[in-house]
């Protein structure tokens, strides 16, 4: 049973050089047909495997869901409502770029129940935005935020990246100061990851010194945590910060290892004990939308590992009592020696029956977690 659904909308005004998502520019002609395919997928999959639960969250990710005709999102929402139902106060969220936002669109989105908007700002430094081939300037980014507010959004999340070409600790500080002055309800900030075949690498090879070095990268993360905390944004996950009550309910589904539906090209779901994904090729998805590209049935052992891996991302930590209830395992006993080593090294701590990464542990989270699972 799933209380959340992810919908992938793959269309963008232009393709950014760093982006490795299923996101396509210049295929706008397909978007009507794509919407119909997603609706057929929702109907087909939920007929085959009904979900006897109303949805509490729906997340339109991409791609740029804010770029397409809002009516297409409205049609998908109506189909979800029909096939599984939506809670009255469900968190409906959409991702978009700053330059797609208009007051009219905000009103249309809200008329379908979308109350949260997540804007990809990435940086407020023009040199960095050009280096990323981002397609918007600092001023356009700020204008996008102002338009979302003027359009009535009281729950705005901003996405940022660090470790960018041309970025310095000073320019990152400035981006954070300017961004926090806007008083967003939520910030997500991820280190730039560069895929092997990324066009960004042609202009900025990996070993080039335009990227911040490792020490600077660590300082950037620490600056992020400090500045968000000073601004009253609570760090509730390794890379996510929110005012009280504005945490992303949708993403909490993932981190709590709960099941969710997913529809659209390349979308990944966790449903009825199986993790599966749709085709990443747009043409293949539109032909074979009820087939999976990958599928893995999650056994108890894997589920346990995932619960540790995901739960430890939450700053409140992994609830050891709930873990014992769900899996019948007391981690403080079964992993006693590993935990002692990690505690002695200052990487994890246990308080109030919660096992959590320390700030030092967060910086090395992958190696710390691999010790545990």
Q: Are 256 and 263 spatial neighbours (Cβ–Cβ below 8 Å)?
A: no
Residues 137, 98: Cα–Cα separation, whole Å:
9
Told to check if 28 binds ligand SAM by CB under 6 A, we report: no
Q: Smallest distance, Å, CB 13 to ligand SF4? A: 7
For ligand SAM, which stretch binds (CB under 6 A), given 61-69, 85-93, 109-117, 166-174? Answer: 61-69
Told to check if 184 binds ligand SAM by CB under 6 A, we report: no
Told to check if 18 binds ligand SAM by CB under 6 A, we report: yes
Told to check if 155 binds ligand SAM by CB under 6 A, we report: no
- Where do runs of H (alpha helix) occur along 136-248? 138-150, 169-180, 200-203, 214-230
Residues 193, 187: Cα–Cα separation, whole Å:
18
Nearest residue (CB) to ligand SAM, 122 versus 237: 122
Q: Smallest distance, Å, CB 51 to ligand SAM? A: 25
Tell me the residue number closest to ligand SF4, measured at CB. 19
Task: State which of positions 95-124 bind ligand SAM (CB under 6 A).
Answer: 95-97, 120, 122
Nearest residue (CB) to ligand SAM, 15 versus 354: 15
Could you say which of ligand SF4, ligand SAM, none residue 159 binds, taking C-beta under 5 to 8 angstroms by partner kind? ligand SAM
Tell me the residue number closest to ligand SAM, measured at CB. 120
Query: In degrees, to the nearest 5, what angle opens at C-alpha 304 toward C-alphas 301 and 308?
Result: 140
Told to check if 237 binds ligand SAM by CB under 6 A, we report: no
Q: Are 131 and 164 spatial neighbours (Cβ–Cβ below 8 Å)?
A: yes
The neighbouring-strand residues paired with 189 are 160
Q: In terms of DSSP bridges, do strands 274-277 and 268-271 run parallel, antiparallel, or are they unpaired? A: antiparallel
Told to check if 161 binds ligand SAM by CB under 6 A, we report: yes
* Tokens 């779901």 belong to residue: 269
- Decide: helix, strand or coil at residue 287: helix
Sheet containing strand 274-277, edge to edge, reads 268-271, 274-277, 294-297
Nearest residue (CB) to ligand SF4, 65 versus 361: 65
Could you say which of ligand SAM, ligand SF4, none residue 192 binds, taking C-beta under 5 to 8 angstroms by partner kind? ligand SAM
**3-state DSSP of 23-89:** CEECCHHHHHHHHHHHHHHHHHHHHHCCCCCCEEEEEEEECCHHHCCHHHHHHHHHHHHHHCCEEEE
Locate 178 and state its tokens: 């300017």
- Decide: helix, strand or coil at residue 248: coil
Could you say which of ligand SF4, ligand SAM, none residue 161 binds, taking C-beta under 5 to 8 angstroms by partner kind? ligand SAM
The neighbouring-strand residues paired with 92 are 58, 114
Could you say which of ligand SF4, ligand SAM, none residue 208 binds, taking C-beta under 5 to 8 angstroms by partner kind? none
Told to check if 264 binds ligand SAM by CB under 6 A, we report: no
Q: In terms of DSSP bridges, do strands 186-191 and 156-162 run parallel, antiparallel, or are they unpaired? A: parallel
For ligand SAM, which stretch binds (CB under 6 A), given 89-97, 209-217, 324-332, 333-341? Answer: 89-97
- Which uninterrupted H or E stretch holds 156? strand 156-162
Binding footprint of ligand SF4 on the chain (CB under 6 A)? 12, 15-16, 19, 21, 23, 62-64, 97, 120
Nearest residue (CB) to ligand SAM, 192 versus 369: 192
Q: Considering only residues 5, 192, 314, 348, which one is a binding residue for ligand SAM as defined by CB under 6 A?
A: 192
Nearest residue (CB) to ligand SF4, 51 versus 64: 64
Locate 194 and state its tokens: 């560069």
Locate 82 and state its tokens: 């029909």
279-318 mask for ligand SAM (x: CB under 6 A)?
Answer: ----------------------------------------
Q: Catalog residues that contact ligand SAM under the rule CB under 6 A.
A: 12, 18-21, 61-64, 95-97, 120, 122, 159, 161, 190, 192-193
């Amino acid at each position: 049973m799933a209380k959340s659904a992810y919908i992938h909308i793959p269309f963008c005004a232009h393709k950014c050089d760093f982006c490795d998502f299923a996101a396509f520019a210049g295929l706008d002609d397909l978007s009507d047909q794509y919407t119909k395919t997603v609706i057929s997928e929702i109907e087909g999959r939920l007929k085959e495997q009904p979900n006897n639960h109303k949805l509490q969250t729906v997340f339109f990710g991409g791609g740029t869901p804010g770029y397409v005709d809002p009516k297409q999102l409205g049609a998908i929402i109506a189909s979800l409502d029909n096939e599984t139902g939506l809670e009255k106060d469900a968190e409906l969220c959409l991702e978009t770029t700053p330059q797609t936002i208009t007051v009219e669109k905000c009103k249309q989105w809200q008329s379908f129940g979308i109350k949260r908007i997540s804007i990809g700002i990435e940086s407020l430094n023009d040199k960095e935005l050009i280096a990323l081939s981002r397609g918007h300037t600092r001023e356009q980014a700020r204008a996008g935020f102002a338009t979302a507010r003027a359009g009535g959004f009281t729950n705005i999340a901003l996405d940022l990246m660090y470790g960018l070409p041309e970025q310095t600790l000073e320019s990152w500080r400035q981006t954070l100061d300017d961004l926090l002055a806007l008083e967003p309800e939520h910030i997500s900030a991820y280190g730039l990851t560069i895929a092997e075949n990324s066009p960004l690498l042609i202009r900025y090879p990996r070993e080039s010194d335009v990227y911040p070095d490792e020490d600077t990268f660590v300082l950037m993360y620490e600056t992020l945590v400090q500045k968000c905390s000073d601004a009253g944004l609570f760090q509730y996950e390794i890379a996510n910060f929110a005012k009280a009550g504005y945490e992303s309910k949708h993403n909490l589904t993932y981190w709590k290892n709960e099941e969710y539906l997913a529809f659209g090209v390349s979308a990944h779901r966790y449903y009825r004990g199986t993790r599966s994904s749709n085709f990443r090729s747009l043409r293949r998805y539109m032909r074979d939308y009820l087939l999976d590209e990958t599928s893995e049935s999650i056994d108890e052992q894997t589920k346990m590992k995932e619960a540790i891996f995901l739960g430890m991302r939450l700053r409140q930590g992994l609830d050891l009592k709930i873990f014992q209830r769900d899996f019948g395992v007391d981690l403080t006993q079964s992993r006693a020696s590993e935990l002692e080593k990690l505690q002695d090294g200052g990487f994890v701590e246990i308080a109030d029956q919660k096992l959590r990464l320390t700030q030092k542990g967060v910086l090395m989270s992958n190696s710390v977690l691999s010790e545990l699972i």
